[in-house]
Amino acid sequence: MNTDVFSSYQDVRLPQGPLRIYRAGPREALSVVLLHGAMLDTAAFTWHHLAPVLARDRDVVAVDMPRHGGSRPWTGLLDQARMEAVLDEVLDHLGISRAVLVGLSMGGGIATGYALSRPERVAGLVAINPGGLDDERPLQLLTWLALRSSTLLRWASRWMVSPWLLRRSMARTFVHGEHTRDFAVLMRMVEAEARRRAEHGDPALDDWQVAAYGPRRMVLNHTPGLRRLQVPSLWVHGRKDTLVSQAVVRRAAESAPGARWVEVDDAGHLAPLDEPEAVGGAIVSFLDGLG
């Protein structure tokens, strides 16, 4: 059985741009769709450790989200609504009627919104340090004002190409720094994505992030709607995450009916790369519980 999720791919042509999809594992098994985070994340980067483990006995689909990895160039605004529509097109193209959605950060926010709006297509939700759960973020107004500048965002994208700056930034982002498992491999992926982003003129932040902000409150906030979530859910938080607080993810887990909650002690925002065994074990346990 092929569990090397990233050894091959298919590119799907959609009206606004191409979408790169990786797939491995038994097709007759439960489908698990993996959605990565924003900025320099790609499917192969975020799910480097977990995708092969899950593909041993699940039908695993990993997607390069629009304007990431091989899924570019794209036109139009890629906000929550459009990302949910893209996910519809992925499932339709692959002939998958229902799937478990596993998302990190931006991917977790997209998956959460999709589970709320289309529960009939979701067999389960795993949200890892998800975005889209805040009513207000730190420095809300200043951040909103900064995000209005497309010039600033594109300049930041070019600035991120520096290998030295990227290495220092990623070493600080990973809880285990340069001792992170496969750090050199992961850095090559990040550097390649930074170059692609600059070459295509993509801004440093994704539309999804920018569109989520309002001047005083977040425009995108799934938390009030979670009390009506109709699918089983697992909420995973890295205790050392400095971007998404424990309180926010814990509140989401408490709001969703019958939800499970897991905190990974020695993990930060990139929990699947900081502690792949702990995060993978929690996901496999959740999937086993779905039957």
When pLDDT is averaged across residues 149-154 and rounded to a whole number, the result is 65
- Banded pLDDT at 159 (limits 50, 70, 90): low
- Banded pLDDT at 112 (limits 50, 70, 90): very high
Length of the chain: 291
Angle at 46 between CA 42 and CA 117, to 5 degrees: 80
SS3 88: helix
- Banded pLDDT at 161 (limits 50, 70, 90): low
Over residues 11-22, the pLDDT tens digits come to 999 989 999 999
Over residues 44-83, the pLDDT tens digits come to 999 999 999 999 999 999 999 999 999 999 999 999 999 9
What residue has token string 């994704």? 206
Q: Distance between CA atoms of 45 and 284, rounded to whole angstroms?
A: 20
Over 70: is that where the pLDDT of 103 sits? Answer: yes
Q: Distance between CA atoms of 94 and 91, rounded to whole angstroms?
A: 5
Contact call for residues 44 and 69 (beta carbons, < 8 A): yes
What pLDDT does 150 receive?
Answer: 67
Please compute, for residue 257, the number of CA atoms within 13 A of its CA located in the half-sphere on the CB side. Answer: 7
Contacts 24+ apart (CB under 8 A), 139-145: 140/213, 140/214, 140/215, 140/216, 140/217, 140/218, 141/215, 141/216, 143/213, 144/213, 144/214, 144/215, 145/215
Say if 160 falls within a structural domain. Answer: no
Say if 224 falls within a structural domain. Answer: yes
285 backbone dihedrals φ, ψ, rounded to 5° = -60, -45
Over 80: is that where the pLDDT of 89 sits? Answer: yes
The count of domains in the chain is: 1
- Banded pLDDT at 153 (limits 50, 70, 90): low
Q: Distance between CA atoms of 114 and 116, rounded to whole angstroms?
A: 5
Say if 5 falls within a structural domain. Answer: no
Q: Is 18 left (phi over 0), alpha (psi -120 to 50) or beta?
A: beta
Q: Distance between CA atoms of 256 and 270, rounded to whole angstroms?
A: 23
Over 60: is that where the pLDDT of 2 sits? Answer: no
Say if 202 falls within a structural domain. Answer: no
Say if 96 falls within a structural domain. Answer: yes
Over residues 199-238, the pLDDT tens digits come to 988 888 899 999 999 999 999 999 999 999 999 999 999 9
Over 60: is that where the pLDDT of 1 sits? Answer: no
Give the domain range for residue 91. Answer: 10-135+220-290
Contact call for residues 36 and 273 (beta carbons, < 8 A): no
Over residues 260-269, the pLDDT tens digits come to 999 999 999 9
When pLDDT is averaged across residues 155-180 and rounded to a whole number, the result is 84
The sign one gets for the Cα dihedral 52, 54, 59, 64 is: negative
Say if 257 falls within a structural domain. Answer: yes
Say if 18 falls within a structural domain. Answer: yes
What pLDDT does 154 receive?
Answer: 62
What pLDDT does 152 receive?
Answer: 63
CATH code, domain carrying 98: 3.40.50.1820
Q: Distance between CA atoms of 54 and 74, rounded to whole angstroms?
A: 29
What pLDDT does 225 receive?
Answer: 97
Sequential DSSP letters for 12-73: EEETTEEEEEEEES-TTS-EEEEE--STT--HHHHTTTHHHHHTTTSEEEEEE-TTBTTB--
Say if 38 falls within a structural domain. Answer: yes
- Banded pLDDT at 178 (limits 50, 70, 90): very high
Q: Specify which residues 238 forms β-bridges with.
A: 264
Please compute, for residue 267, the number of CA atoms within 13 A of its CA located in the half-sphere on the CB side. Answer: 24
**Rounded to the nearest 10 degrees, what angle do helices 183-199 and 150-159 cross at?**
140
